[in-house]
Structure 1
């Protein structure tokens, strides 16, 4: 048996391990399928340290591939299926991928991306894609029984590419090839840290290619949680699935919070949610007003973490702590050292803002795959690295985030953090989504611009711009209030909540001789 699945296949063989729109897989079935898949991958010539890629929306087969790769020491690259064929092809080459699994829904991109690549093993979750072997046929080639050797593999994530080519993120202390039992220990530790009960049932409501969605679903899965998944997020269906499957834990992003809060009151009234033990959120800033509404609705189960693809999880804060320290993202995890430094690298005082830098007690570090220059650009001597966030510690050691350094607006020599303004605007009943950024200003250098996506049925006309500015003025200093507002049909945001803010900024800076 696949060693990490053995305890679940033996103790609850007929319980659901995975569920998607197409059906369910029990722990017994999963164990057998992962064994065969691992064997088929080994028989195709792969060995520990080799790379495969998964180019797919959420589906049960996705978890089978990750489980098999995690048992035989493979690097499995989780591909953003929104990428164009050129971006996909770049990542396949950059990571040295030898086997590609793809989803029939994205056959066109996959087919174009692999042209000219030395990629003999191409597998489709389905059939009918020219040049791709159907997944079930490939699975059937694998021998039954336990694959050997069983050593630990790991995911490899690529940044979203919001500032250029996607970059692979890896650790300097590689876990590939370690005893596979290390993953079991990590999964059990994850369950303890993130409040998963013994009978955990996880809802995957975002794309698993994202590092946070992977962690909060796959690590829960490896600790014994069943996983119910959907290809896309629907707020009403999310509430139905939580009650129907007695979901205990789910990871959501703030834009999903807003959509849930704006459901028809009857839909919210019919929702029980009594099975929920923990809702975790991160990956994007959350308005304190929105978070408080979620806690008022669902109770003290709405918890937060602070991390990134590069840095993992660095702080956590439970709902009760957050209510005492609204706006905080918590205290550092035991193995994480966090320093707040000014632009000269000098530590700032308590309550003072600066760039956030990390160092791990175990000596681990982050690097960008095949890009030593970019790796060096985020490091200081002594192993400190940054993801570009701005924040401060209060008197009790709680970390507060202000914004990202690259998003900061400098107007008349004053630092303005867009996230603070976005947190106010998103609470206006006419606003569905919002982005704030700086545009050129001859007098002040930059001025504050807001891009707003309106709630369906609201027209961008009349007094609405002035109304939104006045709404900001009630909570913000005058210099922070947007000088102008654009109304867009939809903001360029990924399903993981990340905003392509550079796409909004770029048109305003094209005629300028500078970018800040």
Structure 2
């Protein structure tokens, strides 16, 4: 199950279509280009287990690069294009990338990253010229389009921002099989659970550096389906593309549902979305009323799953089950769910605790961080792992999430970790103490709020708030910068100095 099989049977069928322009890459073209790039990776000395990094917007080249890495036994790290140059450079260095591939649309960022990663010798650009980078199409044109004799399956190694302020690479073991052999978890699940076949037309409205869009698009292509990629999400355009391309399968985050529901009724009614057979959503909790409204509009096609970039486990729930258990994220379909107290003891159904998934083997480790890997493991069962979520199981085994153990903020389906922002705030001379929390936001799910204890010689108010946010914009990606800044001289801390964020959330949160 990989796209090359369809290059032989249906070479002219679209493997990917860019929704806005109609630009198409066929299965035949995808196979040829990924083979040539695989030959180049080998020619520059990359071998199984080496790493390549990718910095791009939503572009069809993503899939040529992805499949070249997958058929070369390489780890591919897709980097969030909204990060600053310093943040990108850290990830490129930390993953040990031997090559970096960049889109010319991000040329300025790529040049800035190059200045910060002088030891990286292999840099390729596509879609235009980027100073200091070799043109991807030019360099790969010299290679044959016959597959290498050995094509060991690679894997992605994506980064999840760490609560200590540095992102961590989530590194799975490389599979012990060739590219054309079955065994990929996401591909098999897409076929078995969501019925993906070569007739599937999948709409991807999210950034391809995220785990779910990247892995799902690849799975659809591996099963012979067509992927339709939006350059960026737009609520009305998404409906237009469902109708235009007769989309059968799409994946969303709840913020996208909210934005589509906010369209005027006459706008929503003018698009035919009846081709949709499955509308999957994940990445963030979906408000019950929002989900009910989507079911009323689109019918019983919604399917929700709960998982993580770590892919340590997964739960799933379809529409009829959810209507019987509103608010649930489903029952386990990958791994076994255990709810444990702070000491690691399992708790009865209905009792809130940390969510662990039991697997036969440890499914991942955090790159260059054995302590963080160990902290994710159950104290008595090393193959039970948690990503910090808190919830409970009902009597039927349905999981309900109640909180994030680390107070991670999920805004528009994107994970934001307060500690990273707090570390930057602490560097501002007007900040004595600070806390960053997520507060309810009717569109994004949560938005970022910074609470500042100002220095005695500083004047709290709008001008200082703007000064602080300007300071953060020079250090952090835009989506991490607080949308709101409040000032308080009584940040709640325990006698040992621990910040009591629940008190702050109660103080500043308002109803959605």
Q: Same fold (TM over 0.5)?
A: yes
TM-align CA RMSD? 2.9
Q: Could you list the per-position Cα deviations for residues 465-511 of structure 1 after superposition, in whole angstroms to 9, with x for gaps in the alignment? A: xxxxxxxxxxxxxxxxxxxxxxxx9xx9xxxxx98598868965896
User: 2:161 is matched with which residue?
Assistant: 160
Distance 1:510 1:107 in 2: 45
User: 1:226 is matched with which residue?
Assistant: 226
Give the TM-score taking structure 1 as reference length.
0.79
Mean Cα displacement is larger for which, 260-269 or 288-297?
260-269
Residue 371 and residue 358 in structure 1: after superposition, are their counterparts in 2 closer, same or farther (change >3 A)? same
Q: Could you list the per-position Cα deviations for residues 401-446 of structure 1 after superposition, in whole angstroms to 9, with x for gaps in the alignment? A: 111122299xxxxxxxx99x94xx73xxxx67544889799xxxxx
How far has the Cα of 1:374 moved from its partner?
A: 1.3
Q: Is the 8 A contact 1:125 1:135 kept in 2?
A: yes
Give the TM-score taking structure 2 as reference length.
0.80
- The SS at the match of 2:37 is helix
Q: Could you list the per-position Cα deviations for residues 302-355 of structure 1 after superposition, in whole angstroms to 9, with x for gaps in the alignment? A: 11000111235510000111011100111111x412111112222211111111
Distance 1:342 1:308 in 2: 21
How far has the Cα of 1:127 moved from its partner?
A: 2.4
Is 1:382 aligned with 2:396?
Answer: no
Q: Is the 8 A contact 1:243 1:273 kept in 2?
A: yes
Residue 295 and residue 101 in structure 1: after superposition, are their counterparts in 2 closer, same or farther (change >3 A)? same
User: 1:88 is matched with which residue?
Assistant: 88
Residue 82 and residue 438 in structure 1: after superposition, are their counterparts in 2 closer, same or farther (change >3 A)? closer
Mean Cα displacement is larger for which, 350-359 or 499-508?
499-508
Is 1:338 aligned with 2:340?
Answer: no
Q: Is the 8 A contact 1:51 1:76 kept in 2?
A: yes
How far has the Cα of 1:366 moved from its partner?
A: 2.5
How far has the Cα of 1:269 moved from its partner?
A: 0.7
Distance 2:365 2:50 in 1: 18
- The SS at the match of 1:67 is helix
User: 2:463 is matched with which residue?
Assistant: none
- The SS at the match of 1:329 is coil
User: 1:17 is matched with which residue?
Assistant: 15
Distance 2:277 2:225 in 1: 13
User: 1:459 is matched with which residue?
Assistant: none
How far has the Cα of 1:279 moved from its partner?
A: 0.8
Distance 2:282 2:362 in 1: 23
- The SS at the match of 2:293 is helix
Residue 434 and residue 90 in structure 1: after superposition, are their counterparts in 2 closer, same or farther (change >3 A)? closer
User: 2:399 is matched with which residue?
Assistant: 399
- The SS at the match of 1:350 is coil
Q: Could you list the per-position Cα deviations for residues 93-129 of structure 1 after superposition, in whole angstroms to 9, with x for gaps in the alignment? A: 1111011111122222221212243222111112221
Q: Is the 8 A contact 1:204 1:251 kept in 2?
A: yes
Distance 2:76 2:176 in 1: 13
Residue 161 and residue 112 in structure 1: after superposition, are their counterparts in 2 closer, same or farther (change >3 A)? farther
User: 1:350 is matched with which residue?
Assistant: 349
Residue 139 and residue 399 in structure 1: after superposition, are their counterparts in 2 closer, same or farther (change >3 A)? same
- The SS at the match of 1:310 is coil
Distance 2:182 2:485 in 1: 42
Residue 135 and residue 258 in structure 1: after superposition, are their counterparts in 2 closer, same or farther (change >3 A)? same
1:370 to 365, 368, 371: 368
User: 1:453 is matched with which residue?
Assistant: none
User: 1:7 is matched with which residue?
Assistant: 5
Residue 508 and residue 348 in structure 1: after superposition, are their counterparts in 2 closer, same or farther (change >3 A)? farther
Distance 2:372 2:403 in 1: 21
Residue 506 and residue 310 in structure 1: after superposition, are their counterparts in 2 closer, same or farther (change >3 A)? farther
Q: Is the 8 A contact 1:280 1:303 kept in 2?
A: yes
User: 2:290 is matched with which residue?
Assistant: 290
Q: Is the 8 A contact 2:190 2:219 kept in 1?
A: yes
Distance 1:271 1:232 in 2: 19
Mean Cα displacement is larger for which, 379-388 or 323-332?
379-388
Residue 370 and residue 406 in structure 1: after superposition, are their counterparts in 2 closer, same or farther (change >3 A)? same
- The SS at the match of 2:83 is coil
- The SS at the match of 1:395 is coil
Query: For residues 472-483 of structure 1, what are the structure 2 equivalents within 5 Å?
Result: none
Residue 263 and residue 41 in structure 1: after superposition, are their counterparts in 2 closer, same or farther (change >3 A)? same
Distance 1:271 1:193 in 2: 27
How far has the Cα of 1:289 moved from its partner?
A: 0.3
Residue 54 and residue 306 in structure 1: after superposition, are their counterparts in 2 closer, same or farther (change >3 A)? same
User: 1:140 is matched with which residue?
Assistant: 141
Is 1:35 aligned with 2:35?
Answer: yes
User: 1:68 is matched with which residue?
Assistant: 68
User: 1:479 is matched with which residue?
Assistant: none
How far has the Cα of 1:139 moved from its partner?
A: 2.2
User: 2:123 is matched with which residue?
Assistant: 122
User: 1:265 is matched with which residue?
Assistant: 265
- The SS at the match of 2:329 is strand
Distance 2:485 2:341 in 1: 26
Q: Is the 8 A contact 1:305 1:313 kept in 2?
A: no
Mean Cα displacement is larger for which, 431-440 or 132-141?
431-440
Mean Cα displacement is larger for which, 211-220 or 4-13?
4-13
Unaligned runs of 5+ in 1: 410-417, 442-488, 493-497
Q: Could you list the per-position Cα deviations for residues 25-56 of structure 1 after superposition, in whole angstroms to 9, with x for gaps in the alignment? A: 11122222122111122112111111001100
Q: Could you list the per-position Cα deviations for residues 358-403 of structure 1 after superposition, in whole angstroms to 9, with x for gaps in the alignment? A: 221x313321101011112222231222111111111111111111
Q: Is the 8 A contact 1:51 1:77 kept in 2?
A: yes
Distance 2:238 2:266 in 1: 15
Distance 1:9 1:198 in 2: 12
